[in-house]
Structure formats: structure tokens, C-alpha cells
Amino acid sequence: MKAPRAVPTSRLFNYVVICSVLNASSSAWFSFARFEVYQNDFGWGKPVRVINGCNNKFDGMVNICPGKDEAGSVDVDIALLPQKMNLLECDAEFLM
């Protein structure tokens, strides 16, 4: 069995990646907390909603970025396999 590879870090993306071995699933956490995603205007006006898209999604990926409401809201994008998502959706403590 190969040893896990080191994960490069970047100042642009403040993230924590947790990798497991022995065929367990991996998790990656991305935070764009310091990147003002709703303040950008590329000529079409400021964004109404910012989404991560469907590329490079994998089971266990979580993306967190500031929400449109400037009062401290956050947008959270969670990618899970359907059976795991069903468990999360039934977790009363998580939904509070």
C-alpha cells in the first residue's frame, strides 16, 4: 500500500483536506471566507448566487463561502453519495 501523498496548500484557498487510507472516503473542506464572491462584477452586474458547479465533485466534498446577506450568512455546498445524503437529511441535530 502506498503512503498518502502530501496535499499542497495555497494562500488563495483557505482549506483543510482530510485524507484517509484503506479505501475509506476522503473529505475536503474549502473556505472562501476572505474572498468577497458577491462583490465581483464582470460586466453583467453583481452575482445573484454563486455556486461551485458540478466539476470535480466527490463524496465528502464541502465548500463554504460567504452568503449574499452581508450579516454573516454562509453558503454551504455538500457533495455526498445519495445514501449518505439521505442520512444527513434525516439528522435532526444537523438540521437545527
Q: What is the pLDDT of residue 32?
A: 66
Distance CA 50, CA 67 (A): 9
> Per the domain annotation, does 2 fall within a domain?
no
pLDDT tens, position by position, for the chain (96 residues)? 555 554 444 433 333 333 333 344 556 666 666 777 778 888 988 888 877 777 777 788 887 777 888 677 878 888 888 988 888 889 888 777
Q: What is the pLDDT of residue 25?
A: 56
Total tally of structural domains belonging to the chain: 1
**Model-level pTM?**
0.54
Q: Which domain holds residue 83?
A: 14-95
Q: What is the pLDDT of residue 76?
A: 81
Distance CA 38, CA 91 (A): 31
> Per the domain annotation, does 22 fall within a domain?
yes
